[in-house]
A and B are shown apart, each in its own frame.
Chain A
Amino acid sequence: MPNSPDPRTDEELAQRAGHGDRAALDALLARHLDRIHAVCRRVLGDPDDALDATQEALIAIARGVARFDGRARFTTWMYRVATNAALDEARRRRRRPLPTALDTDSAATADPTAAVDARLDVDAALAALSPAARAAVVLRDLAGLEYSEIATVLDIPIGTVRSRIARGRAELADRMREPGTPSRSPNPSDVATERDPVTAVEPNET
């Protein structure tokens, strides 16, 4: 494993990996592991589920890189694989309690520099959204994808991307609000607590 970063672009590495270059595949996977894990972690909200999804995504990339045709950016394709792995994992996992939502009083610290509290806020806020909505806001704010890329990754219209991102941010903003600040009334249809995907579903064979 070289110490210096591989200077080749993702697309160059992907092309070589697709032709059986193991070193190129290794470099590609190592380069993007943290990004893939971050997306899975935020979409799923659970560290163990995130590891499972990350593993599935890495394997899918390793096996499918030969099919990457270079028409889109490699990262767009990669995030699509990672997001699908996370959403598949969300469908598979058994029903279990969602991360404990911070109550209004304890969540009222408006100090975004408190890293631990911020992380809790993120998971709690995202847990109130459906995984698909989580994916949109995570792909934008954590992965930095453009709206059009997110639309491609999630296979949804840009308008839906825009509304899901706004809803995710609004959910978190309301949780971070200072004491005494009136919150927006929640849209009951946005509260995903009772219908989060927890049906155990085996992955489809391909």
Chain B
Amino acid sequence: MNPTPDDPVPTSDAVDPLDERLSAALDGEPIAGAPGPGDPALDSAAAAARGRALAAARDVLATPPPPLDDVTRRRLLDTARAAGPAPRRDRARWLGPAASVAAVLVAVVLGGWGLIAVLHGSSTSSKSSAAGQGAAAMTTGPLHLRSLGEISNPARLLREVRAELARRPSGDRSSVPGAACRGTVRVPTDVTLEVLARATFHGAPAVVLVGREPPRTLVYVLATGDCRLLSAQFFKG
């Protein structure tokens, strides 16, 4: 493990030589070249008492911390599983071209529709033109979601989510793309998820949901198409 500039000031590894010898002896790891049994320093009553104290400390250090409850265990394992390895990449490779084909088809359909509308609109009155402008304004109503880019790297996901939370515009997020996915994620009853942004996860289009569970912020990444859970993370703040 290489130190970084942010590492703490290194502490000295200096330790009482007798403690070190007694401690190593407890583990059956004698120090090469050091006096062993029979050495007066080790056989004294004081050394024996110190050895017992170190052994008691060792036993206490072996005390396991309080166990995790079942809900926390499940959440930890589910999140790790969702973040899991290779198979998703294979699927992502397939989803990438498929998503591109779908996007092209949608563009063609919408383009054709727009062309028809333009041709139709050229023969209508100014009144209907004004109505058309009103309709256009309504279609831009839902909040525009920014894309966070590729967020399969947890560090990048964390950074992008924090940045987006800091600058996100206010507005109605109930009808933005991906809002329907909110109901597919199981969260505590007091947590409300909202759609934060769009993104890609291993190339597949995704939507990012966030929810506050003080002192944590929960982050879920779901596939845009079928709301499949791709990643679940949390961070403090």
Contacts and interface: CB of A to CB of B under 8 A. Distances in A.
Given A25-B85, A166-B24, A167-B13, A192 B8 contact: yes
A121 B59 CA distance: 12
A155 B27 contact: no
A54 B34 CA distance: 39
A22 B7 contact: no
B123 interface: no
Given A26-B77, A37-B76, A129-B11, 11 more contacts: A48-B215, A58-B77, A59-B83, A119-B63, A131-B8, A142-B61, A163-B20, A166-B15, A166-B24, A196-B8, A197-B6
B13 A160 contact: yes
A42 B65 contact: yes
A137 B236 CA distance: 28
18 contacts: A33-B68, A33-B76, A42-B61, A42-B65, A51-B72, A55-B80, A58-B76, A112-B56, A141-B62, A155-B1, A160-B13, A166-B23, A167-B15, A173-B54, A173-B57, A177-B53, A184-B16, A201-B4
B187 to A, nearest CB: 16
Interface of A: 17-18, 20, 22, 25-26, 29-30, 33-34, 37-38, 41-42, 48, 50-52, 54-56, 58-59, 61-63, 65-66, 84, 87, 91, 110, 112, 115, 118-119, 121-122, 125, 129-133, 137-138, 140-142, 146-147, 154-155, 160, 162-173, 176-177, 184, 187, 189-190, 192, 195-197, 199, 201-206
Interface residues of B, number: 60
A170 B185 CA distance: 49
A169 B154 contact: no
Given A55-B80, A166-B23, A169-B23, A187 B12 contact: yes
Given A66-B85, A140-B27, A169-B57, A59 B79 contact: yes
Given A141-B62, A155-B1, A163-B14, A37 B68 contact: yes
Q: What 6 pairs between A and B have smallest CB-CB spacing?
A: A58-B80, A189-B12, A166-B23, A141-B61, A172-B57, A173-B53
Contact of B29 (A66, A132, A147, A204): A147
A132 B13 CA distance: 10
A137 to B, nearest CB: 6
Contacts of B87: 20, 22
Contacts of A202: 155, 158-159
Interface string B214-237: 010000000000000000011110
A170 B23 contact: yes
Where chain A touches its partner, the secondary structure class is helix
Given A22-B81, A65-B85, A176-B53, A138 B61 contact: yes
B155 A162 contact: no
B217 to A, nearest CB: 12
Nearest to B79: A55
B156 interface: yes
Contacts of A187: 12, 14-15
A165 B63 CA distance: 16
A195 B77 CA distance: 33
A203 B154 contact: yes
Nearest to B21: A166
Contact of A51 (B63, B76, B77, B80): B76
Interface in B17-35: 19-20, 22-24, 27, 29, 31
B166 interface: no
Nearest to B50: A173
A121 B60 contact: yes
Given A147-B29, A163-B13, A142 B60 contact: no
